[in-house]
Amino acid sequence: MTAILVRFEWHGDCPGSGTGPPSYTVHSSPPNDQSVQQGGVDAQYQYLGDPHAVTFRAAWIHENHATGASQALGLADNSHNTLRSLNASLSYIYDHTWSFTAGRFSVGGTADAALYGTFTGSPNSAGRITEIAYLPFSYGGPSFWPWLNARIGVQYTFFNKFDGATTNFNGNGRNAHNNNTLFVYTWIAF
């Protein structure tokens, strides 16, 4: 497999703001009936002020799958499939202590029931993510461990589409919103 990674980077001169390095990545296999080509771009913008900080992140990935060999074995309906994903989020942090994040995700592509194993044949899924977090030691940890860092948060993932449908995506009456998830976490770094 040959892999090429090209990374572009730009940093602005504006005080308190800048952009992260966007990237474009391509992976390809030797030419045959079973190969994958991928391309992607990701970017980040961050404003760091006091007491406000804002971060915007976005990532897009596109894949082309040549699945001729899988089709010959009955493992794919199509000889060529595509898959795309887009993720974006906006975070706001107040006083280095409270973090609020909202995001959107979506996956789409060619319908292929044999390849994806879904009732609808579609890989299409989309939803939103919201998160609130508390960072208790942003101004220093406890006296016995001053370099301690922690994050305590709650994240909710809301699906408005799953496997190509909003309702009855599996043929048994299960709806996209039945996959909604509440995630409570504690993250500790030292």
Q: What are phi and psi of 67, to 5 degrees?
A: -120, 35
Residue 160: per-residue pLDDT = 96
Q: Burial, 159: exposed, middle or buried (Cβ in 10 Å; 0-12, 13-18, 19+)?
A: buried
- Tokens standing for 142? 């406890």
d(CA 159, CA 41): 24
173: CB partners within 8 A, 6+ apart: none
* CA 157 to centroid of chain Cα atoms: 12
Cβ-contact 57, 14 below 8 angstroms: no
94: CB partners within 8 A, 6+ apart: 51, 52, 100
Asked if pLDDT for residue 10 goes beyond 50, the answer is: no
Radius of gyration of the chain (CA): 21
Residue 147: per-residue pLDDT = 81
d(CA 166, CA 83): 19
Sign of CA dihedral 30, 31, 36, 41: positive
* CA 29 to centroid of chain Cα atoms: 24
CA within 13 Å, CB half, 48: 7
Q: Which residues pair with 4 in a beta bridge?
A: 26
- Tokens standing for 47? 């404003």
pLDDT tens for each residue of 22-73: 434 444 444 456 677 777 788 888 888 889 999 999 888 888 888 888 888 8
Read off the pTM: 0.76
Find the range with the poorest average confidence among 17-31, 67-81, 110-124, 126-140: 17-31
Residue 4: per-residue pLDDT = 33
pLDDT tens for each residue of 157-181: 999 999 999 999 988 999 999 999 9
Rounded alpha-carbon distances, angstroms, from residue 9 to 24, 82, 124 = 11, 28, 32
Mean pLDDT of 94-109: 96
